[in-house]
Structure 1
Amino acid sequence: MQGLIRTVILSTVLLSLSNCGEPAKTTAPGPGLPNLIVILTDDLGYGDLSCYGSHRIHTPHLDRMAAEGLKFTNFYAFPSCSPSRAALMTGCYPPRVGIPNVIGPTGPAWTSHVQYGLHPDETTLPEVLKTAGYATGMVGKWHLGHWPETMPRRQGFDFFFGLPYSNDMLPEDGYPDLPVYDDEKPVAYNPDQALITQWYTQRSLDFIRENKDTSFFLYLAHSMPHIPLFTGDAYADRSRQGVYADVVEEIDGSVGTIIAELKRLNLDENTLVVFTSDNGPWLTYGNQAGSAGPFREGKGTTFEGGMRVPMIARWPAKIDAGNISHRTASLMDILPTFAALSAAELPVAKIDGQDISALFTDFRHPAYAPDKEPFCYYRSGKIEAVRLGKWKLHIPHSFRFVDEVGDDGIRGGYAYTTTGLELYDLHGDPAEKYNVAEKFPEKADELERLIGKLQEEMNAEIRPPFYPAGDDQEAQTQVQ
């Protein structure tokens, strides 16, 4: 009965709250600036879309999006939720902005060490775009701090509807009641998650319609396919391949609905839509986990399966249909790229992302030359591996692997082991099976020295997160 009441209350809120919050002051948008949409999924693996090789999950709308746009094959997130979202919002490696690990509300024992969030002094992606006159809205999962100072409305968004953190942080597991926010106020608790993708889609459509006459930035961060998994009635058992596939197909349907609305409003040609994921699949959940495709390991690791994710960009006015990019890129690159496309001001503080707008608009541009900048695989604030061109070096570090597979939403188990000094040629060995460090000792030594240099620089440049008043900041800093 309580679940029904929650559903009725939240459904009423969705129907009655038609405004998207009081917009913050912005400059007037320039003529012809593109609308910008980022759709971020949670725990979606590289191999979970049919356009990325899945034979189990049918994703016709995303397949069409890829066919009409640009598909990346070497796009990276970070190993877990909060660090990836920090990278997207700030254009920085996660430890630079004080978010090296997953954070959350007070609950189980592990949360006592992660009571912090993204500092309001950081310049976020929506704040960058507001300097160019954009309306900014967010729908979905935030997970960068649940205090008022760290929530989306205080971080540059004119409007927010969604969850402050993951959909599995529930009272039955020792967390507080899970709130649903509309702007800065909770409007329901412990929602019926079978309806959550529909709600996110509807509020995204509302935002687009209300801002159709100005340049806008929409950040839609789906809560799934992170467990627990739920779908609306229309997608229940639709795939005949289990609830994980049903969830991904419902998200695919949401993408199709949003693109159809852009076309209906004559916004499609000049709207850049980016679709990606926050990390690889949570493999210990077995038949309710995704697929890393050809890559090793999954979420929580710095192997390719933990960090290489799908990325599709569609912009009919600029991106030629059917393009594929093999360049290395990451979530950090979205902020400087969107800034370049909108003529917005970059943050004053140092960022790590690169402007990759040339990849969207001109395949003959020198940006298509081989990768020259290193990409660091950070986990818990430490560089565990680095990629430079085709070469990837792991330095010795602990990592987890599945030794007991879960089933039907019941989590399995991990065991832990340690890598050696391991060098891989990702062009010939993307699965990281064949360590060639002894065959190419000079390259291994070069990259090992590079890791040491980059880690030392990062350690000297880390900026603090936000801590709520009275928290033991020193203890948490030591844990980081």
Structure 2
Amino acid sequence: LHSAQLLITCLLLCTFSSCLSSKPNFVIFFADDLGFGDLSCYGHPTSLTPNLDLLAAKGLRFTDFYSTSPVCSPSRASLLTGRYQTRSGVYPGVFYPGSIGGLPLNETTIAEVLKPLGYATAAVGKWHLGIGSNGMFLPTKQGFDEYLGVPYSHDQGPCHNLTCFPPDVKCYGVCDVGVVTVPLIHNENIKQQPVNFLELEKAYSDFATRFITTSAKNKQPFFLYYPAHHTHYPQYAGSDAAGRSLRGPFGDALLELDNTVGNVMATLQKTGVINNTLVLFTSDNGPELMRMSRGGNSGLLKCGKGTTYDGGMREPAIAYWQGFIEPGVTHEMASTLDIFPTIASLAGAKLPPVMLDGFDMTDILFKQGKSKREAMMFYPIDPNEKYGLFAVRLGKFKAHFYTQGASHSASTPDHDCPGSASFVGHDPPLMFNLEADPSERYPISLKDRPDVQAVLEQIRTIKAQFEATMVFGESQISKGSNPNLEPCCNPDCSPKPSCCHC
């Protein structure tokens, strides 16, 4: 066997933590509102994403990778905890600047299982899992040593007077009014409010590369979680990306994210840790089609953000580990839920004593093997115990028990996508073969199809078994908001906004 193959075989026969001279590092890029059809390596003709294309060419590209929610906060909670958002209470919808609740502190994050093993941990970008009183829900209270970012979506504040592109192109739209302008927080202190969009991505990139460089210099294993604002509305970009893509504002924002991916990869190479680092890239949910050309593209998938059709939750995903992951494409089913147990397995970390919904992906990553994931469950924006799952995918088949459109997916000619497509229960459920019909256009008739009827019975059984284990956590978002909790600059912050409640 080739020496590299021998090493891979060794790693697969024992734990990574015992075989490697040092524990592996982990970098997660988590894009925002990026659709299945938005990257060049996923077929978009005018997106400029050379660094992600290279990552995909040299790594493993997924065709059947899912988030757990068609909106932001729940999907982030699931990635970091390996549990469906219904268990942690991060539903319905998303957190706002003055939200009282947040990701419960008794939930265990990836950062928290790595910290006891000596990992340096950092988060940079869009947190969107709550701030709370005295910053009680910020990343620094959830296992991260350091944080730099806007703690929620960058449209959750007035933006009509802010500059999104140089030299002074104002942001498109008005964003949320009646709340404070978006702040830039370092750890638990506000450094800038409103944030300067033209310099924001550079600040994030510099933070990420410094964190990697420092960790490598200290010979300390690290975990970098980078939930980007790109490509969420309103798009923005600094001088290095503005006007440089063929796709307009969305393409420029995507290029700016791609530039950061390139900077991080170059830093991994420069510091000599690239052979000991697993890099993962995916997105939180599908594109916001209501924004039209500024809202992303779900490719051939049906609908987008806000819906439980595949366009709302099936995401581009890439895994890269130089020397260990062979280049290729996998059609195995996987999810953001699977990132937590995979990282824990590779690091030799102890799993928390709670029910996890993820599965170890090491067979997929290193053996080009089969997924341990039998099924994928689809909850809507506003899940509840009465209706439970809206859809279930088993193998190549997906059954929709309920369907509903969403305002996020307006402006498409498909009448099933916008908010005007009201809630409908289906008995029997709508059945689709996603291998033959990934666009979910042609429901399979159960008549004279005993094979499909048998699959549906399996799906019903899996659904019932899963829902029997689901204990809904107290809804954190239903706790409401308090304007006094909206983040406000301290006296030293510059510029100091006039709309702070202090």
1:266 is aligned to 2:267: no
Give the alignment partner of residue 460 of structure 2, picking from 430, 442, 448. 448
Contact 1:105 1:146 in 2 (8 A): no
- Residue-by-residue CA offset, 1:134-164 (whole Å, 9 max, x unaligned): 1100000101111122110000000001011
- Residue-by-residue CA offset, 1:17-67 (whole Å, 9 max, x unaligned): xxxxxxxxxxxx983211100011100111111111110202111111111
Give the equivalent residue in structure 2 for 1:139. Answer: 124
For the structure 1 residues 266 and 118, does the alpha-carbon distance in structure 2 shift closer, same or farther, using more than 3 Å as the test?
same
Deviation at 1:418, TM superposition (A): 4.0
Contact 1:160 1:182 in 2 (8 A): yes
For the structure 1 residues 353 and 372, does the alpha-carbon distance in structure 2 shift closer, same or farther, using more than 3 Å as the test?
closer
- Residue-by-residue CA offset, 1:352-392 (whole Å, 9 max, x unaligned): 100111222122x4xx16x6622101122231100111110
User: What amino acid is aligned across from residue 361 of structure 2 in structure 1?
Assistant: I
- Cα distance in 1 for partners of 2:37, 2:479 equals 43
Contact 1:394 1:422 in 2 (8 A): yes
Secondary structure class of the residue paired with 1:341: helix
Give the equivalent residue in structure 2 for 1:163. Answer: 150
Contact 1:39 1:276 in 2 (8 A): yes
Deviation at 1:471, TM superposition (A): 8.0
1:103 is aligned to 2:113: no
Stretch of structure 1 that moved more, 341-350 or 372-381:
372-381
Give the alignment partner of residue 48 of structure 2, picking from 47, 58, 73. 58
State the TM-score, normalized to the length of structure 1: 0.84
User: What amino acid is aligned across from residue 43 of structure 2 in structure 1?
Assistant: G
Deviation at 1:133, TM superposition (A): 1.6
Give the equivalent residue in structure 1 for 2:473. Answer: 463
Deviation at 1:445, TM superposition (A): 4.0
Secondary structure class of the residue paired with 1:263: helix
Give the alignment partner of residue 296 of structure 2, picking from 272, 290, 295. 290
Q: After the TM superposition, which residues 396-475 of structure 1 pair with which residues of structure 2 at under 5 Å, given as runs?
A: 396-400=402-406, 402-404=409-411, 414-419=419-424, 420=426, 421-439=429-447, 440-458=452-470, 461-464=471-474
- Cα distance in 2 for partners of 1:214, 1:319 equals 23
- Residue-by-residue CA offset, 1:382-426 (whole Å, 9 max, x unaligned): 3110011111000023223755469xxxxx974223453200011
- Cα distance in 1 for partners of 2:31, 2:350 equals 27
Identity %: 36
Q: After the TM superposition, which residues 76-155 of structure 1 pair with which residues of structure 2 at under 5 Å, given as runs?
A: 76-77=66-67, 78-105=69-96, 115-147=100-132, 148-155=135-142
Contact 2:341 2:359 in 1 (8 A): yes
Contact 2:100 2:480 in 1 (8 A): no
- Cα distance in 1 for partners of 2:396, 2:479 equals 46
Deviation at 1:325, TM superposition (A): 1.2
Q: After the TM superposition, which residues 61-76 of structure 1 pair with which residues of structure 2 at under 5 Å, given as runs?
A: 61-76=51-66
- Cα distance in 2 for partners of 1:274, 1:418 equals 35
Contact 2:245 2:255 in 1 (8 A): yes
Give the alignment partner of residue 217 of structure 1, picking from 223, 247, 255. 223
User: What amino acid is aligned across from residue 120 of structure 2 in structure 1?
Assistant: A
Give the equivalent residue in structure 2 for 1:6. Answer: none
Q: After the TM superposition, which residues 227-376 of structure 1 pair with which residues of structure 2 at under 5 Å, given as runs?
A: 227-320=233-326, 322-363=327-368, 365=369, 368=370, 373-376=374-377
- Cα distance in 1 for partners of 2:378, 2:475 equals 20
User: What amino acid is aligned across from residue 365 of structure 2 in structure 1?
Assistant: F
Give the equivalent residue in structure 2 for 1:186. Answer: 190
Give the equivalent residue in structure 2 for 1:477. Answer: none
Q: How many residues align?
A: 427
- Residue-by-residue CA offset, 1:424-468 (whole Å, 9 max, x unaligned): 01111111111114243343344234324422431xx23346689
- Residue-by-residue CA offset, 1:309-330 (whole Å, 9 max, x unaligned): 011111003112x221111110
- Cα distance in 2 for partners of 1:336, 1:453 equals 21
Deviation at 1:197, TM superposition (A): 1.5
User: What amino acid is aligned across from residue 24 of structure 2 in structure 1?
Assistant: P
For the structure 1 residues 316 and 422, does the alpha-carbon distance in structure 2 shift closer, same or farther, using more than 3 Å as the test?
same
CA RMSD of aligned residues (A): 2.5
Contact 1:404 1:414 in 2 (8 A): no
- Cα distance in 2 for partners of 1:208, 1:256 equals 14
For the structure 1 residues 264 and 297, does the alpha-carbon distance in structure 2 shift closer, same or farther, using more than 3 Å as the test?
same
Stretch of structure 1 that moved more, 29-38 or 311-320:
29-38
Give the equivalent residue in structure 2 for 1:378. Answer: 379
User: What amino acid is aligned across from residue 76 of structure 1 in structure 2?
Assistant: Y
User: What amino acid is aligned across from residue 374 of structure 1 in structure 2?
Assistant: A
Give the equivalent residue in structure 1 for 2:172. Answer: none
- Cα distance in 2 for partners of 1:92, 1:239 equals 37
Contact 1:139 1:204 in 2 (8 A): yes
Structure 1's unaligned 5+ residue stretches are 1-28, 108-113, 407-411, 473-480
User: What amino acid is aligned across from residue 42 of structure 1 in structure 2?
Assistant: D
- Cα distance in 2 for partners of 1:270, 1:403 equals 44
Secondary structure class of the residue paired with 1:375: strand
- Cα distance in 1 for partners of 2:311, 2:335 equals 14
- Residue-by-residue CA offset, 1:267-308 (whole Å, 9 max, x unaligned): 111111111100010000001011111100001111010000
Give the equivalent residue in structure 1 for 2:180. Answer: 176
Deviation at 1:219, TM superposition (A): 0.4
Structure 2's unaligned 5+ residue stretches are 1-18, 159-175, 483-502
For the structure 1 residues 330 and 149, does the alpha-carbon distance in structure 2 shift closer, same or farther, using more than 3 Å as the test?
same
